[in-house]
Amino acid sequence: MSAHAPAVQSPYENTGVPDGKLAIWLFLASEVMLFGTLFTSYIVLRTAAASWPRGWDVLNVPLATFNTFILIASSVTIVMAHAKAAARDKKGFMLNMGLTVLMAFVFLVVKYFEYSSKFAHGHYPSTSIFYGIYFTTTGLHGIHILGGIAWNLGLMWWANRDGWDDRLFIGRVEYAGLYWHFVDVVWIFLFPALYLL
Amino acid sequence: MSDHDDAQSHVKLYWMIGAALFALTIATVGVSKVHLVHPWGLIVGLAIATLKAGLVAAIFMHLKWESRFIYYFLGVTLAAVIILFAIPIWDFEYLRPLFVEHADVAAQGHEAAAHPPVHGAEAPASSHP
């Protein structure tokens, strides 16, 4: 089943799946609840609102579309980083993980320009319910991007020290990937919800 | 199949899924541009997003090859999410006809806050015909 984790992890496996994998899925389940609550609030507030702006009219759709492509590409590179780690190709791992981190920074830089433009036009979280929702959800998502950058940089740092041959290494790369894909999935729903629909 | 072969055979699949996600992103932006009749824009938009999320979860997050234990676990999560969505929305939809004015006032924010004296003046008048 865990074809991607050739490293033996039996002492860390008490439930049939590696403890680390169970832990990360538990964490992601709690994250689903966190973002789910915000989506529920969004639906209720939008349904109640007398009027609601179209994303196309008030937000920068081309920039957000570009950011969507960036996040999808970074999901590909991090899953490639895991494949390279499983194939014991350190150079390939470092390259793909490095690209993942780079694209995460690009995402945040684009987000910075989006936020700056909103602030320059006097749009703040307190401006309206729409901007309240917009800044809360994208802001929380941005914090998750920051967390992913720290996690992935940490794995690269560890790989260059004694981590590469550690038997938990490949598993940890997979768990970092699971987290990063989750952040991607959140954006996959945020993008149409805020910008397109 | 050795682990190495397994990882290499998946690499091709990863690129294909990445390409599919790019195409679906273009599709969702395109669909939102053509202004479909009211519920259909929403339905198509959410369907594409769900398909994209499903591809990421199944392939990139390896759920396609995951153990049954994780499936059960995620089943519980899914049930909790449905409750999380259904109860507040059902509650809101049920209560809304009873408190529709309050809901609108809350949603309008500053605009509504600018006119509280009007509401205040109307309330006693209507309660004493």
Taking the C-alpha atoms of residue A121 and residue A87, their distance in angstroms, rounded to an integer, is 50
Helix (H) or strand (E) holding B46: helix B38-55
| Min Cα–Cα distance to chain A from B53, Å | 5
CATH topology of domain A10-196: Four Helix Bundle (Hemerythrin (Met), subunit A) (1.20.120)
Interchain CB contacts (distance < 8 Å): A and B: 152
Instruction: Return the residue matching tokens 């350190």.
Output: A90
Retrieve residue A25's tokens.
Answer: 């899925």
**Amino acid (1-letter code) at residue A180:** W
Q: Examine residue B62 and state whether it is found in any structural domain, yes or no.
A: yes
- Give ipTM to 2 decimals: 0.90
Listed range (A114-118, A122-126, B35-39, B104-108) with the worst mean pLDDT: B104-108
Flag whether residue A21 sits within 8 Å of chain B, measured between CB atoms: yes
User: Which residues on A lie below 8 Å from B89 (Cβ)?
Assistant: 40, 43-44
Say which residues have a Cβ less than 8 Å from residue A50's Cβ, sequence separation at least 6: B104, B107, B108
Nearest to A129 by CA among B45, B112, B39: B112
- Alpha carbon distance B85, B63 (integer Å): 24
Other beta carbons within 10 angstroms of residue B61's beta carbon come to: 25
Within a domain: B15 = yes
Q: How confident is the model at residue A13 (pLDDT cuts 50, 70, 90)?
A: confident
User: Is the CB of A79 inside 8 Å of chain B's CB atoms?
Assistant: yes
Whether residue B82 lies inside any domain: the answer is no
Q: What is the pLDDT of residues B44-69, one digit of tens each?
A: 999 999 999 999 999 999 999 998 98
Cα–Cα distance measured from residue A169 to residue A155, given in angstroms and rounded to the nearest whole number: 8
Q: For residue A196, give the nearest of B14, B28, B103 by CB distance.
A: B28
Average pLDDT, chain B: 78
Q: Tell me what the pLDDT averaged over chain A comes to.
A: 93
Closest CA to B58 of B4, B20, B108: B20
Of B6, B29, B109, the CB nearest to A61: B29
Which residues neighbour A69 within 8 Å (Cβ) at sequence distance 6 or greater?
B22, B25
d(C-alpha A81, C-alpha A24), whole Å: 18
Please tell me the distance in Å from B33's CA to the nearest CA on chain A. 8
The answer on pLDDT for A4 being more than 90 is no
Exposure string of A6-30, with b = 16+ CB inside 10 Å and e = fewer, is bbebeeeeeeebbebbbebbeebbe
Domain membership of residue B47 (yes or no) is yes
- The pLDDT assigned to A169 comes to 95
Overall number of domains in chain B: 1
CA atoms in the 13 A half-sphere facing the CB of B80: 16
How far is A172 from A162, CA to CA, in rounded Å?
14
From residue B12, alpha-carbon distances to A36, A48, B6 in Å are 33, 46, 11
Q: Which residue of B has its CA nearest to A3?
A: B3
Using CA coordinates, name the residue in chain A closest to B7.
Answer: A83
| Span A150-184, pLDDT tens digits | 999 999 999 999 999 999 999 999 999 999 999 99
Give A 131-170 residues with CB within 8 A of chain B. none
Closest Cα of chain B to A22: distance in Å? 8
Q: What is the pTM of this model?
A: 0.85
